[in-house]
Amino acid sequence: MKLVTFSVHGGFPEIGVVDGTKIVRIQHALPRLASTMIDLIDTWSDACAEVQRVVEKAEHTIALEQVHLLPPIARPGKIMAMGLNYADHVAEAGLEIPKHQVWFCKQPNTVHPPFAPIQIPKTSTSVDYEVELVFVIGKRGRHVSKANAPDHVFGYCVGNDVTARDWQMRTPQWVLGKSFDSHGPFGPWITTADEIGDPHRLGIRSIVNDEVRQNSNTRELIFDVFDQVAYLSQAMTLEPGDIVFSGTPGGIGAAMKPPVFLEAGDRVRCEIDELGAIEAVFENEI
């Protein structure tokens, strides 16, 4: 199932299910079901059957092209992100394969719709793209084993870990360089884990102005999705609606010879097989 957050003509956010070229407006049929995507995720084991019945009836629908897609989760409790997690990206950075998982966080202000323009900050001259598989936590957990980790993943999205490289490299802590406004678009919807099965077999690409820059497969992750869940949950309780950017493959602008960073008017499309694509034009901050 593909769960989406959207608005119609600037109205209030709604939750729906993508069904081909239309969206089933489940909150119209089930107004007491959930008020936010996090609420729906948290109650999914009870709500799933009701949602499925509404989708099968398809009585409350709207064309996908008539809506404005919003971030699937407006305000995740946590946005964690994995660094140096594809071997080709580690190599282009001139580093060694990490022995331990490399983590940083992006702040909630980075959350951004999947097709809205993205800012090039006034204070940065080195904005870069990073296509990533994003996964969504569906079940609360601490000290989760790798064997049990799949039970805690609700679904998957496409993400772009937009990065201000000059700010990132000023300090060993990457948070500021990763946390400018609008620099965490993801979507276009959440594809539930049951629909994907094994997430470690998906082609992943970024395309800048029609040029393929990154082209890999999630099987190349050094630490896979379930490794990440197990490791993170040793440090913190994972909650429904937390999201994780799982790492980017080689092909970033900073690694080109010479480096090539994004400029106003550049269009970046991020794609992952079976999950869809997000796309944005970059604009100078006003």
Question: How many other C-beta atoms can be found within 10 angstroms of the C-beta atom of residue 1?
Answer: 18
Predicted local confidence at residue 31, as pLDDT: 87
Q: Are 112 and 147 in contact (CB under 8 A)?
A: no
Predicted local confidence at residue 29, as pLDDT: 86
Q: Which amino acid, residue 269?
A: R
Predicted local confidence at residue 59, as pLDDT: 85
Q: What is the rounded distance in angstroms from the CA atom of residue 86 to the CA atom of residue 246? A: 10
Domains of the chain, CATH where assigned: 2-69 (no CATH), 79-284 (3.90.850.10)
Q: Are 280 and 129 in contact (CB under 8 A)?
A: no
Predicted local confidence at residue 28, as pLDDT: 87
Q: Which amino acid, residue 112?
A: H
Q: Considering Cα of 88, then 211, then 185, then 3, what sign does the dihedral take? A: negative
Alpha helices in the chain (DSSP H): 26-29, 37-42, 44-57, 87-92, 165-168, 193-196, 225-235
Question: How many other C-beta atoms can be found within 10 angstroms of the C-beta atom of residue 39?
Answer: 15
Q: Are 261 and 124 in contact (CB under 8 A)?
A: no
Q: Which amino acid, residue 236?
A: M
Predicted local confidence at residue 85, as pLDDT: 96
> pLDDT truncated to tens, each residue of the chain (286 aa)?
999 999 999 899 999 999 999 999 998 889 888 889 999 999 999 999 999 999 999 889 999 999 999 999 999 999 999 999 999 999 998 889 999 999 999 999 999 999 999 999 999 999 999 999 999 999 999 999 999 999 999 999 999 999 999 999 999 999 999 999 999 999 999 999 999 999 999 999 999 999 999 999 999 999 999 999 999 999 999 999 999 999 999 999 999 999 999 999 999 999 999 999 999 999 999 8
145: helix, coil or strand?
coil
CA atoms within 13 A on the CB side of 279: 10
Q: What is the rounded distance in angstroms from the CA atom of residue 106 to the CA atom of residue 124? A: 17
